Structure 1
Amino acid sequence: MEPRAAVFDVDGTLVDTNHLHVVTWWEAFRQAGHTVPMHAVLRAVGLGSSDLIAHLLGEDRDRGRDAELSAAHKALYGQYFDRLPALPGAGELLRRLHHDGWTVVLATSASGSELGALRRAIDADEAIEATASSDDVQEGKPAPEPVEHALELAGVPAERAVFVGDTVWDMRAGARAGVRCLGVLCGGIPRADLAQAGAEEVYADPADLLAHLGDSPLT
């Protein structure tokens, strides 16, 4: 059988962190004197820090404070590293795919100690072949580069890969990389938005995808 790659976003897809990101970004913005609605932050989660700040504050912001905002978010979010909760079925799904012959690769904007905390939460390192982190690419999602780099790590062409994510940024990145995209609702983004952005199928969470694996593109 030819090699196949199952590429996964992490935040909101495998680990239940999106709303932690919302609260900690909201607080970082508040501390810097910005009023940003939480619903707007939620829809921006999944972008890299610089892109998220630009998306929420606009191009006419004081860019000299971007690093300060990112550092504040990192410090606030870092308080949760020892108790990040995996989403239902996350580890089991990765182990099942690995057992079935899929090359499992993570494609995430997280890196360093944050990525380490996420992997500990998933608790399926034996199933994960490689990780494409924000340190490895010039442009984050929705650019295709994170997914393309994941495919390079897997040694698999786009037509033999499936990408699973929870945000419109994930779906757009996967679509631009030429892979089949599956969405999950556990990150808080509506089904219609994921489908419009390129999701072929949408599942509730990793456990739901695992339960319907035989009828999915990951069969």
Structure 2
Amino acid sequence: MIFDIDGTLVDTVADDARLYATAVREVLGDVSTRPRWSDYEHVTDRGILRQICHENGLDITRCEQNVRTRFGELMADHLRHEGSCCPTPGAPGLLENLREVLHCRIGIATGGWEHTARMKLARAGYDVAGIPLTSSDDDHERVRIMQRCRTLLPATAVTVYVGDGDWDQRASERLGWRFIGVGSRLRGKCEHWLQDFSAPELLKTLIG
């Protein structure tokens, strides 16, 4: 079973988007961007930045590290002074039950960069030691990020991905994985859906 982070394990979607936009603006200047991050072909930190650079005639190899670094600085400062990085209700206990009680091998595949992903997980109180985590540092395409995580887990008959965005659902469909949607953005849009992880009986829904 593989989990997304933002909007799935932690409530950080709004802050993450705001700080990412700030990092892009501070490093790249007055560049043209699309109205919503979801308007980009690959909704990952790396994928969005690559497309912004392409559409503005910028060299990605010269921009990526600077934006990544500045985003990390902004996120660290935000978490240090504001600390608004709450776990999704029930999620920490769910992960513990999956690992310790049900002996389920889990992974984390996020469209964010690894350094900010680990900051948020740590601030939200997750112990992810020993859990494979793949990110935009591995690839700019979400499907390949997810595939990379899958190779780090034991072979099973069914792979389950848990996410909160349309892009998560589309990537899961492309891979032929079972998908479980979480949160208000996917209400009514997928076969298996949860508002959060607060009810104990949700374990049965998740592992099916």
TM-score range, shorter chain: 0.7 to 0.9
**1:188-199 map, 5 Å:** 189-192=185-188, 195=189, 199=190
Aligned to 2:203: 213
Is 2:93 aligned against 1:92?
Answer: yes
Equivalent-residue separation in structure 2 for 1:36 and 1:206 (angstroms):
35
Aligned to 1:3: none
Deviations 1:8-35 (A, max 9, x none): 0112210111111121133334442246
Equivalent-residue separation in structure 2 for 1:134 and 1:95 (angstroms):
25
- The sequence identity of aligned pairs, in percent, is 22
Unaligned segments of structure 2, at least 5 residues: none
- SS at the partner of 2:6? coil
Structure 1 residues 125, 175: CA separation in 2 closer, same or farther (over 3 Å shift)? same
Of 73, 76, 97, the match for 2:74: 76
Aligned to 1:130: 132
Q: Given that residues 8 and 107 in structure 1 are in contact (C-alpha distance below 8 angstroms), is that contact kept between their aligned partners in structure 2?
A: yes
Aligned to 1:50: 46
Equivalent-residue separation in structure 1 for 2:96 and 2:207 (angstroms):
13
Aligned to 1:108: 110
Structure 1 residues 34, 207: CA separation in 2 closer, same or farther (over 3 Å shift)? farther
Q: Given that residues 107 and 132 in structure 2 are in contact (C-alpha distance below 8 angstroms), is that contact kept between their aligned partners in structure 1?
A: yes
Q: Given that residues 15 and 121 in structure 1 are in contact (C-alpha distance below 8 angstroms), is that contact kept between their aligned partners in structure 2?
A: no
**1:54-69 map, 5 Å:** 54=50, 57=52, 59-64=54-59, 66-67=63-64, 68-69=66-67
How far is 1:59 from its partner? 3.9
The one-letter code of the counterpart of 1:33 is D
Q: Given that residues 163 and 182 in structure 1 are in contact (C-alpha distance below 8 angstroms), is that contact kept between their aligned partners in structure 2?
A: yes
The one-letter code of the counterpart of 2:36 is A
Equivalent-residue separation in structure 1 for 2:25 and 2:113 (angstroms):
25
What is the RMSD computed on CA atoms of the aligned residues? 3.0
Q: Given that residues 45 and 140 in structure 2 are in contact (C-alpha distance below 8 angstroms), is that contact kept between their aligned partners in structure 1?
A: no
Q: Given that residues 110 and 134 in structure 2 are in contact (C-alpha distance below 8 angstroms), is that contact kept between their aligned partners in structure 1?
A: yes
The one-letter code of the counterpart of 2:151 is E
Q: Report the TM-score, using the length of structure 2 for normalisation.
A: 0.77
Q: Given that residues 90 and 122 in structure 1 are in contact (C-alpha distance below 8 angstroms), is that contact kept between their aligned partners in structure 2?
A: no
Is 2:195 aligned against 1:204?
Answer: yes
Equivalent-residue separation in structure 2 for 1:29 and 1:129 (angstroms):
30
The structure whose residues are more often helix, as a share, is 1
Deviations 1:146-199 (A, max 9, x none): 222222211124x4221101112222222222210011116xx3435xx3xxx4
